[in-house]
Amino acid sequence: MRWPGRGVGRGLGRGGAAPAVDAAFLLDLCAGALAAGSALPRTLAVVGRHLGGPDGAALVRAGSTLGLGGSWAAAWADAPPAAAAVGAALATGWEAGASPGPQLRAAADRVRRDRRARVRTAAGSLAVRLTLPLGLCFLPAFALLGLVPVVLGLASGLGW
C-alpha cells in the first residue's frame, strides 16, 4: 500500500527539482532488497519505482533493460551519479556472476569513508582559515583589557 505524498524521493529541493539521493543510502537499499531474495533486475525496478525522481527513473530503466536481456552499458547509460554508483558497484558481479550483496555493502562503506575524509579535510582547512581572523579580533581585546591596565598600574606605581 502506498500513501500519497510519502516516500523518499517525493519532496522537492531548491528550484522545484528533486533532491539529490545519497549514493550510500541507495546502495544500502539495493543490498537490502537483494538480501531479501529478489532478483537484480526486479530489485532495481522496485527500488527505483519507490524512490522516484531521476535516480529512481534510472534504476527502473536499468532494471527493465536488464530484465529484457539488454546490455549492461545500455541499462546504465545516462544514469545520475547515485544510480551510476549502483551500476558501478554491480558491474563486476553481473559480468562474473558473483553475489551482488557484498559488493553493494562494500561500495556503500567506501562512499561513507570518502565522505568522512572530505569532511575531516574541510574541517582542518576551516580551522586554519579561521586562525587569522580570530587572532585579529582577540589580540586587540586582550591588549586593551589585559595588558593596558597592568602597564598603567605599574606606571603609576613607579611614579610616572
Q: What was the pLDDT predicted at 16?
A: 56
Q: What was the pLDDT predicted at 30?
A: 92
Q: What was the pLDDT predicted at 154?
A: 87
Enter the pTM of the model.
Answer: 0.69
Q: Measuring CA to CA, how many Å separate 45 from each of 38, 110, 145?
A: 11, 24, 67
User: How does pLDDT run across 4-15, given as a tens digit for each residue?
Assistant: 444 444 544 555
Whole-number Å distance between alpha carbons of 134 and 149: 22
| Alpha-helix residue ranges (DSSP H) falling in the chain | 23-35, 40-51, 53-67, 72-75, 81-96, 100-142, 148-157
Strands (E), 76-146: none
Q: What was the pLDDT predicted at 143?
A: 87
The three-class DSSP label of residue 23 is helix
User: How does pLDDT run across 80-104, given as a tens digit for each residue?
Assistant: 988 999 999 988 888 888 888 889 9
Weakly modelled stretches of the chain, pLDDT under 50: 1-9, 11-12
